[in-house]
Structure 1
Amino acid sequence: MRAWHDSAMTEHGRAGAHDRVVSSLGMAIVNGDIPPDADLDVVALQERFSVSRTAVREALRVLAAKGLVGARPRRGTFVAPREHWALLDADVLRWRFADRVDERFLDELGEVRLTVEPAVARMAALRRTDRDLADLEDALAAMRTAVGRPAVDHVEADLAFHHALLRAAHNELMTQMATVIEAGLRLRDQFVHATLTSESTDKHAEVLLAVRRQRPKAAETAMRALIERSIADVELAKEVHGEQAGR
């Protein structure tokens, strides 16, 4: 097992023993500091984190539920192959980009959003209620207020809009995609370092207008344009990062 940085120990110093082990070990696995098929010795982990054996075993159960670790008779606990990981789990998504930006992950998130969110907008246009419209309008108003402010000030309003749209689709399975959309927005924000512009809010307003008028095709088209713009922003940021790295 390679050494890894116990960032979770520092960030969550007051967290319970179980939470500290879950966060630090989960992040180390997802970031590749502990490779697939590596053995996880309970006693060694107990000593490393200065926690009880019970805390380690509870943490390993949590990670097993996320597909990150497995266990076999006579062998014990080990890091599971990547294809077993619950990649859409909220913690796994957060750990994956906690310390660094994964450009491949950004690309994959963009592809997922481009597949899912236009369909969500179409459904929302067909099924939205007055309450759904009110939630979307409130989120858009918050986005307009955040125009020109640092990214940290507008990301919550942006998330609120996309979450409201998911609810307006009235599809429980689609609602589960909220973790993916949130990860995509937060990671894009971390990578692009953009401020919210009036152009961006206008694109969201186009989606809302189509949903309000119950025009599913227009809603789908408007959302596709919004996501494509987001992907283009990421591609531009990649070029900038590449130029800076080459200096």
Structure 2
Amino acid sequence: MSPLPFSTAEGATLIGGGKVTSDDLETALARAPVLVAADGGADAAIALGRVPDLAIGDFDSISEPARAALGPSRLLHIAEQDSTDFAKALGHIKARFVLAIGFSGRRLDHTLAALNVMIRHREPPCLMLAAEDIAFLTPPELSLPLSPGTRVSLFPLGPSRGRSQGLRWPIDGLEFSPGGRVGTSNEATGPVHLTMEGPMLTMLPREALDLALAALTAPMSA
């Protein structure tokens, strides 16, 4: 029997074992107050002075002191070895949205694996905080009230196409793919509206975090 998912009506901060700062943690918890650790992310959280509400993973990297600090009731063990701890955690969280920290900035393979997980887990909406950027899977329709000059990067993780309003270089009629055309370093001319088919990541400056969260959690139009 599969473990039951962890459920919260609020946003959840998911912390990994990669590079994470106290500012990252404070920024995330101010918006997503429930703290979940992906395996060894529990050690990262404790080192920053916070004990997670739950740790999820196969527990091959969490330390014994971190285990003891959480106690058995706050450890959700997922035994399978065919997915990353990020995938295990994201697949067992039901929340309004997830803010992922500590999944970028050190090992590039871990960062790429986390981005791969994000395109396979569409619910709940997940937004990754990196050093200077935020990244999230572009939904089929997205409206962002961005200021002129805001950097908007689009990066396909599979064949993708879409339409845009408010981009300096429109994407209408273009075919995107990881080994072909990508859309990095585009620029908003004002509010941006995207419609998208295929797995496309949107990357924005961290200053756009609240705008992105509002857009990703807005009720879908009828």
TM-score, normalised by the number of residues in structure 1: 0.28
The structure with the greater share of residues assigned to helix is: 1
TM-score, normalised by the number of residues in structure 2: 0.30
Compare CA radii of gyration and give the structure with the larger one: 1
The structure with the greater share of residues assigned to strand is: 2
